[in-house]
Amino acid sequence: MKLNFRKKKRENKKKKQAVIPLRLNVLFFVIFILFSILILRLGVVQIVQGDTYKRQLEETDNVEVTKNMPRGVIYDRNYNLLVGNTAVNSITYTRSQQTPTSETLQVAQKLNNLITVEPEKLTERDLQDYWILTHEQESLSRLSTKEQQLDASDAYKKQVEKVTDADLQTLNDTDMKVATIFKKMTTGYAMTESTVKNKDVTDEEIARVSENMEELPGVDTTTDWNRFYTYDQTLRSVLGSVSSAKEGLPKEKADYYLSQGYSRNDRVGKSYLEEQYESVLAGQKSKSESVLDQQGNIIETVQKYEGSKGKDLVLSIDVEFQQAVDEIIKNNIKKGKGYSGSDLLDRAFVVAMDPYSGQVLALSGQQLNDEGGFDDFALGNFTTAYNMGSAVKGATVLGGMMSGAISDDQVFVDQPIYLKGTPTKSSWFNRTGAGNRALDTVGALEISSNSYMYQTAMKMGGANYVPHGPLNAPLDTFDKMRYYYNQFGLGVKTGIDLPGERGAYPSTDDTIGKILDFAIGQYDPYTTLQMAQYVSTVANGGSRIAPTMVKEIRNPSNVGDTVGTIATSSKPKVLNKVGATDSEIDLVKKGFYQVTHGSDGTARTVFTTEGYDVAGKTGTAQGFYDGPKESSKMAPVWNTTFVGYAPTDKPEIAIAVVVPWEYRDGDGYTDSKINMSISKEVFDKYFELKQNRAKENKDTSNVNQPINNKDKVTEAQAKAKAENK
C-alpha cells in the first residue's frame, strides 16, 4: 500500500511539471504577439505617419497683436496748440487666446507685490468671479451631483449663485487689490493690450516690473498718453473729452465702435469735437504678428505695421480772440449785475464767424456759478434757445418779399394795431398813435417798427387789417412764416460740425394772433448760432453756409516744434440759397446800416470806433424765465440781443450776441444794454488783433509751420505731468 501511494505521488508531480512549461509557452507567445503588434505600430507611426506627426508637433499659430497709438492734437487757426498729449509711464497686459484664467490670476498676484494699485469699486459679480477663482475646489464641492453634470456655462451659473455674502466678506484688502488688477487684465479681447496702470506709475515700479518680466508672461512696460489743455477752461466744453483706459468704449456706442474694429478698452472721443472727429484724431494701431506654439506660448513677435499717430485738427477758432471774448462777456455780466432787476442774469453768448466761409472765429458762452465765478458755457450757443426779439426782423421783411405778400418798396403806416379781443399791439415808440408815420422797409428796420412787422405778417396770412376787426388768417400762416425763416437758418439745425445741436423747438400756442408776435421775434425760440447763421446769410448776399469749427486737417508732425503738412482744408458748405433777389437783400442791408448809422437808428450811438463800419440789428424780447432758480420759474423777463457784421462793404466777421434774462419785466427795473457793449467790444477786439497781426507779418505758410505757443505748451505739459503723479 505504501509503495502504491508513492508511485501515484510521483505520477502527479510529473503531470504538474508538464503543465507549467505549457503555460509558460502560451504566456511567452502572447508576449511575443504583443511585442510584434507594438513594433508594427511603432513602425507605422515612424515610417508611414512620421512626417504627419512631426508637422503637428511643430505646428504653430500666427496671431495678430494690436497696440494703440497717440491721438492727434488740436490747434487754433493761428497754430497755437490747444489740446495735446503728454507721455506717461504705463504697465500693460496682453493675454493670448490660450492663456488659462489661473495663469492670469497668478500674474495679477505677482504684479500686486510689485506695483501699488488702489482697489476700485468692483461689482458683486466681479467679486463672485474672483472668489470662485481663488476657492475653486470649495466652489465645486457645493454643487450637487446633478448640477455637476450640467454643461460648463450652466454649472458656473450655479457656482455663482452659491457664493454667499459671508464668502465675499472674507476678501481682504490684498484680495481687493488683486481683483482690481485681474479685472483690468481681463478687460477687452485676447491679443489686445489692456492697461493695468497708467496713473502715478513710478520709475521704481517700472524697474521692478522690468526686472521680473520673465515671471510675468504678457506684462509689458510702455508709454501711454493723457490729454492736456494749454488754455485750461477756454472752449473746454466744446473741445470735448476722451474716455480713460478704465472707461473704454462708451456703453451707448459700444456696438458701433466694435463694428469699426475697436476693442472694448480702447480710448475714444466721448463728446463734441473729440467725438465728432474721432475717425481723424484716432491713431492707426500698430500691428504685430505673434507666433504661438500648441500650448499658446509666444515663440516670436514680428512687427507688421508700426502704427501712426492720429491726424491733427486746426480749428477755425482764434484762441486769442476767443479768450478776449470770454473776458468781455464776464466783465459785462458783472456790469449788468449792478443794475436793478438783474438777479436772474447769469449768462451771455457770442458767436463770431466768417460770413463767407462759415468758419467760426469765436464760440463763447459764460455762466455764473454758485461761487460767484464763471464756467465755460460755449455749448449753450447751440444747445439752448431763447426768444430773440427784433433782431429777427430782417428775416420777417425778406420773408414777406419772398412770399409776394409785400413789395420791395412797401410802405406801411406805423400805428397801433387794434384787433378784436386782443390787447393793443404797437411799436415801442408809438404806444398811443401820436407818433404815426409812414415807413418803408429800410425805415422800419432802422427804427425797429413792430407795427410794420405786424402788418407784414397779416399780409403773409392773406388778411387785410381792419381796426377792431378779427384777424382772418389761416393757421398754416405759422408754417408759411417758418418756411421763410428756415431759409436763413432760424428754427433749423445750422449744420455745424458738432454733435448735440438743437434744431427746431416751435412754440405750440396756435392762437392766430401769435403770428404778430412771431414777426417780432417773440414766439419761436432760436439759438445764438442760428442767429449768427441768419445774419451771415444776409451779410454774404443770400447763401446759408454751414458753420464749421475746423479749418484744416493736418498730417502728424515728424518734428516736435512744427505743424504737419496739410491733409485737407475745409471748404464752404452752402446749405441753400434764399429765395430773395439781390435788390431785396440789399434793402435789408441798408436797413441794418441805418440801425447803426441813421439818425433814428436803435444803435446809432454805439459803434463809434474809427476804422471799420458795422451794420446790424438790435433786439429786445419779452419772455419768461426758465433757468436754474426754481423759485423764479416763469417770471417775466427781457432778453437782449444783437446781430451784425463788419466791414459793411465786404464783411469779414458776423456776430450774434444774446443775453438771456438780462433784467426783470416791471417798473423800476433797468436795461443795462450789455448786449450792445458786448457787441462793440467784440468788434473792437477783432479789428485790434487784425491790425496788430498785420504789423507782425507772421508767416503762416504750409511748409515747416511752427507751433506759435511753445512756451505755454511746455508749461501746460509740466502741469499735466505733475497732476498725473
Do 102 and 133 contact (CB within 8 A), yes or no? yes
Distance in Å from the first CA to the final CA of the chain: 112
For the chain, the average pLDDT equals 89
Cα–Cα distance measured from residue 573 to residue 479, given in angstroms and rounded to the nearest whole number: 26
Whether 390 is catalytic: yes
Would you say residue 637 has pLDDT above 50? yes
Q: What is the pLDDT of residue 698?
A: 60
Local confidence band at 707 (pLDDT 50, 70, 90 cut-offs): very high
Tell me which of 309 and 686 has the higher pLDDT: 686
Q: Which residue has the cell 417773440?
A: 522
The answer on pLDDT for 48 being more than 80 is: no
487-504 per-residue burial string, b: 16 or more CB within 10 A, e: under 16:
bbbbbbbbbbbbeebbeb
**CA separation for the pair 382, 399 (Å, rounded):** 24
Give the range among 97-101, 102-106, 230-234, 395-399 with minimum mean pLDDT. 97-101
Sign of the Cα torsion 135, 137, 142, 145 reads: positive
ω into 119 cis (within 30 of 0)? no
What is the DSSP annotation of 588-639?
A: HHHHHHHHHHSTT-TTTTT---TT---EEEEEEEEEE--SS-GGGTT-EEEE
Cα gap 182→671, rounded to integer Å: 62
pLDDT score of 566 more than 90:
yes
pLDDT at 674 over 80: yes
Summarize pLDDT for 239-282 with one digit per residue, the tens: 999 998 778 888 889 899 888 888 888 889 999 999 999 999 99
Protein fold of 92-195+204-212: Arc Repressor Mutant, subunit A (1.10.10)
Q: Quick one: 657 exposed, middle or buried, by C-beta within 10 A (0-12, 13-18, 19+)?
A: buried
Is the pLDDT score of 364 beyond 80?
Answer: yes
* Cβ–Cβ < 8 Å for 265, 195: yes
Whether residue 519 contacts residue 396, with contact meaning beta carbons closer than 8 Å, is answered with yes
CA 147 to chain centre: 48
| 269 within 8 A of 240, measured Cβ to Cβ | yes
Q: How many CA atoms lie within 13 A of 485 on its CB side?
A: 30
SS3 697: coil
Q: What pLDDT score does 610 carry?
A: 85
Residue ranges of the chain assigned to CATH 3.40.710.10: 320-408+476-696
pLDDT for 263: 82
- pLDDT score of 57: 46
> If you average pLDDT over residues 410-425, what whole number do you get?
95
Helices vs. strands in the chain: H and E counts, helices first? 25, 20
Which pLDDT belongs to residue 199?
A: 83
Q: What does the alpha-carbon distance between residue 119 and residue 114 come to, in Å, rounded to a whole number?
A: 15
286-292 β-sheet, strand order: 61-67, 286-292, 298-305
CB distance 707 to 563 below 8 Å: yes
Rounded-to-integer distance, Cα 474 and Cα 464, Å: 13
**DSSP 8-state code for residue 214:** G
Catalytic residue among 237, 316, 390, 679: 390
Q: What was the pLDDT predicted at 514?
A: 95
pLDDT of 703 reads: 60
Ranking 190-194, 379-383, 644-648 by mean pLDDT, the lowest is 190-194
Cα–Cα nearest to 389, from 359, 362, 428, 334 = 428
CA–CA gap between residue 237 and residue 709 (Å, rounded):
21
Between 188 and 511, the more confident residue is 511
User: Does the pLDDT of residue 397 top 90, yes or no?
Assistant: yes
CA 360 to CA 235: how far, in whole Å? 12
Residue located via cell numbers 487689490: 177
Portions of the chain given CATH number 1.10.10.1230? 92-195+204-212
Nine-digit cell string for 323? 479768450
| pLDDT score at 37 | 80
Output the pLDDT for position 518: 97
Which whole-number Å values give the CA distances from 550 to 276, 284, 537, in the listed order?
Answer: 11, 21, 20
Mean pLDDT of 466-492: 96
Q: How many Å apart are CA 684 and CA 610, to the nearest integer?
A: 10
pLDDT band at 701 (very low <50, low <70, confident <90, very high): low
pTM of structure: 0.82
320-408+476-696: what CATH class?
alpha beta
Beta-strand pair 574-577/437-439: unpaired
Most confident of 209-223, 284-298, 666-680: 666-680
- Percent of the chain surpassing pLDDT 90: 66
In this structure, what C-alpha cell is assigned to residue 282? 484716432
| Count of beta carbons in the 10 Å neighbourhood of residue 297 | 14
Measured CA distances, 396 to 450, 455, 462, 487, 537 (Å): 11, 11, 15, 12, 14
Whole-angstrom distance, CA of residue 501 vs CA of residue 493 = 7
Mean pLDDT value across residues 191-195:
78
Lowest mean pLDDT among 97-106, 140-149, 495-504: 97-106
Contact 555, 340 (CB under 8 A): no
Helix (H, G, I), strand (E, B) or coil at 693: helix
Q: What DSSP line would sit under 26-58, residue for residue?
A: HHHHHHHHHHHHHHHHHHIIIIISHHHHHHHHH
When comparing pLDDT for 493 and 153, which is higher?
493
In this prediction, residue 595 carries a pLDDT of 98
Whether pLDDT at 63 is above 80: no
pLDDT at 371 over 50: yes
Query: What's the farthest any 2 CA atoms get from each other in the chain?
Result: 170
Residue type present at position 63: V
**Is there a contact between 415 and 436 (Cβ–Cβ < 8 Å)?**
yes
Parallel, antiparallel, or unpaired for β 653-664 and 74-75?
Answer: unpaired
pLDDT exceeds 60 at position 14: no
C-alpha cell at 110: 505677482
Residue 295 has pLDDT above 80, yes or no: no
C-alpha 201/C-alpha 226 separation (Å) is: 13
Angle made by CA atoms 452, 667, 386, in degrees to the nearest 5: 55
CA 652-658-664 angle, to 5 degrees, is 155
Mean pLDDT to the nearest integer, 405-423: 95
Give dist(CA 76, CA 320) in Å, integer.
9
Which residue, 77, 73, 75, is CA-closest to 85?
73
**What per-residue confidence (pLDDT) applies to 443?**
98
Helix, strand or coil for residue 227?
strand
pLDDT at position 68 is 72
Q: Could you give the CA distance from residue 504 to residue 499 in angstroms, rounded to a whole number?
A: 15
